Chain A
Amino acid sequence: MSVALALRDVHKRYGKTRALDGLSFEVPTGVLLGFLGPNGAGKTTTFRTILGLARPDRGVIEVLGMRVGPETNRIAKRVGAIVEEPGLYGFLSGRDNLVVAADTLGFGHGRIDGLLAFVELTGDADRKVAGYSKGMRQRLALAAALLGDPEMLFLDEPLDGLDPAGQSVLRDQLRRLVDEEGKTIVMSTHDLADVSQLADRVVVINRGKVVTEGTLEELTAGGDRVRVVVGAPDEARRVLAAAGFETDGAASEIWVTGSDGAGIVRALAEAGLYPSAVIPERRTLEEVFLRVTEESS
């Protein structure tokens, strides 16, 4: 699989603040990457640096095989982005916003109607954007980012502040862009549920450097456990420990490390204990995120 984005040892300081501190990661082509990090981790700075809006102090960034800096002009033609506040003009209609964006970026007007339909704004295209909801603005910004039919999209918290219906529409559209059109999307967000539902891969950064990365499967692997609900928890703990299981938890709930639910039930039944529930569970992305960000802070 080819690499759509590569950052190698990227540093960026704002005064005494070290925004990026040797940031390095790669994004394969054709995936939706969830780009996570706590507030101030450097997510927006990373986007701005990749897009040529901020100059790195040191390090190399390659987008679609082209170097940011000497080849930013060529890169700009092949990527779309929504960074921070979308560049929309409230005094223009949705359609005029796209016309202005196309003229500004040097793209034709041929895709405008199709993009308005894609983001489900055809009916509102001639209304002024000042009257749009936040969800409509985000969708229009997505349409503007897609004007040049980019191979890659950078979206800075695109679902932030949207109502559940708006989030659902935008999530579907992003997924379609990856699955049906083969685009690569890098999406920063605070919402771990979005990433769990949408992302193929995840990169978590903190203090300007990567703290973990991988597929959702990889990140949540190794944390399998079984929740056991039983009437005599203390005795059950003793029985399970004697049978070689590692246990945790409090009160009537027992967490058993591993995924051997049948072995747990057998051990308890042989001791005359019958659990009311034995539920296998995986480590969640939220747990992974909290653990790695706490460890790196």
Chain B
Amino acid sequence: MTGLIRAELRKLAKRKLWWVMLAILVVVMGMAAVFLLVVPSRAPEAVPGMPVIRKPDAYILGAQQAIGQTWFPIVLAAVAMGGEMRSAAFAASLVRDSRRWAHLLARLVVLAAASWLATLVAIGGWAIMAAAFAPGEGAPPSSEWLGMVWKSGLIVATWTALAVAAVTVFRSLGPALGAALVFSFVEGLVSLWEVYRPFSLSTNSTAMLGELSGFDAGFGVSALGTIPPGRATAVVVVWAVGLIGLAWAALQLRDA
């Protein structure tokens, strides 16, 4: 397993993919920080009605924004794995029964860790912006910061598993990437439906971090308070396990 992880790390480290995506993530998060943190507090007349997010909620909002960038783990995992599909490496390592779990998990671990690291960079960058521009005092306690770290890891791993599952099902980069991105968007919309909301991956991902006072992070609906963080975490874990199982089944049931 160590060798497999080393191989995946080497493949990822030798590509520009992660760095390019990190640069895009920084730009996206920077724009969001300016719009949500800087403008409401420094130039409220430019965004009338926009609530001013105060500390310590401003920090939590950053974590929510960062984990909301689901395109990052999806694109990273789909492109990294999808590029191998036409080569014998994919077939030899994943489709063959032997060591399939090890190969699958090595890819998941490395790709999720890479996306997690980028998410932590985004959370850290946002925290600096929040410290500088958000009004109010205080910061989340260290236990809450630690919670943000591991929770963002779980959430990013789940979206990574979605992309990996899509790649193994479609065996083609374009359709896999498209399906995973469309799913992430549509799933967010469908989560507005009350019956589905308790099971929604995107809603529960946000709920894991807790609700902000007086601010709706998504689609103008604030129903997160109805989902306790513990239950939300359990739902996300079920999603992660289900998606990994789907990836395994897609490999098991279909030849190279």
Contact A103 B10 (CB under 8 A): yes
* Residues of chain A in range 36-72 having any CB-CB distance to chain B below 8 Å: 48, 51-55, 69, 72
Does A84 count as interface, using CB distance less than 8 angstroms?
Answer: yes
- A96 at interface by CB-CB < 8 Å: yes
Residues of A within 8 A of B172 (CB): none
User: Which residues in B have their C-beta under 8 angstroms from that of A55?
Assistant: 255
Whether B88 and A96, one on each chain, are in contact in the complex, defined by CB atoms closer than 8 angstroms, is no
Q: Does A82 contact B (CB under 8 A)?
A: yes
For A85, the closest partner residue in chain B by CB is B87
Nearest-Cβ distance from residue A198 to partner chain B, whole angstroms: 22
Contact call A54/B11, Cβ cutoff below 8 A: no
| Contact flag A82-B256 (CB < 8 Å), given A53-B95, A92-B14 | no
Assuming A48-B256, A53-B91, A103-B10, is B15 touching A91 (CB within 8 A)? Answer: yes
Q: Which residues of B contact A73 (CB under 8 A)?
A: 97-99
Minimum distance in angstroms from B74 CB to a CB of chain A: 21
Residue of A nearest to B88 (CB): A87
Cα-based distance from A213 to B34 in the complex (angstroms): 74
- Inter-chain CA distance A96–B10, complex, in Å, is 8
Q: A101 CB to closest chain B CB, in angstroms? A: 8
- Interface contact B97-A52, CB-CB below 8 Å: yes
- Number of residues from A at the complex interface, CB < 8 A: 29
A53 and B256 contacting across the interface, CB-CB below 8 Å: yes
User: In the complex, how many residues of chain B place their beta carbon closer than 8 angstroms to a beta carbon of chain A?
Assistant: 25
Chain A contact residues: helix, strand, loop or mixed:
loop
Contacts A91-B14, A99-B10 given; does A104 touch B89 at CB 8 Å: yes
Smallest beta-carbon distance A263→chain B, Å: 56
Say whether A166 faces chain B, with CB atoms less than 8 Å apart.
no
Tell me which residues across on chain A come within 8 A of B92, comparing CB atoms.
Answer: 51, 53, 81, 83, 87
Is A285's CB within 8 Å of the partner chain B?
no
Mask, B91-123, CB within 8 Å of A = 1, is 111011111000100000000000000000000
Residues of A at the B interface (CB closer than 8 Å) are 48, 51-55, 69, 72-73, 76, 81-89, 91-92, 96, 99-104, 106
30 contacts across the A-B interface (CB closer than 8 A) = A48-B91, A51-B96, A52-B96, A52-B98, A53-B91, A53-B92, A53-B95, A53-B96, A53-B256, A54-B256, A72-B96, A76-B96, A76-B98, A81-B92, A83-B92, A85-B87, A86-B87, A87-B87, A87-B90, A88-B89, A89-B14, A89-B87, A92-B11, A99-B10, A101-B89, A102-B3, A103-B3, A104-B89, A104-B93, A106-B3
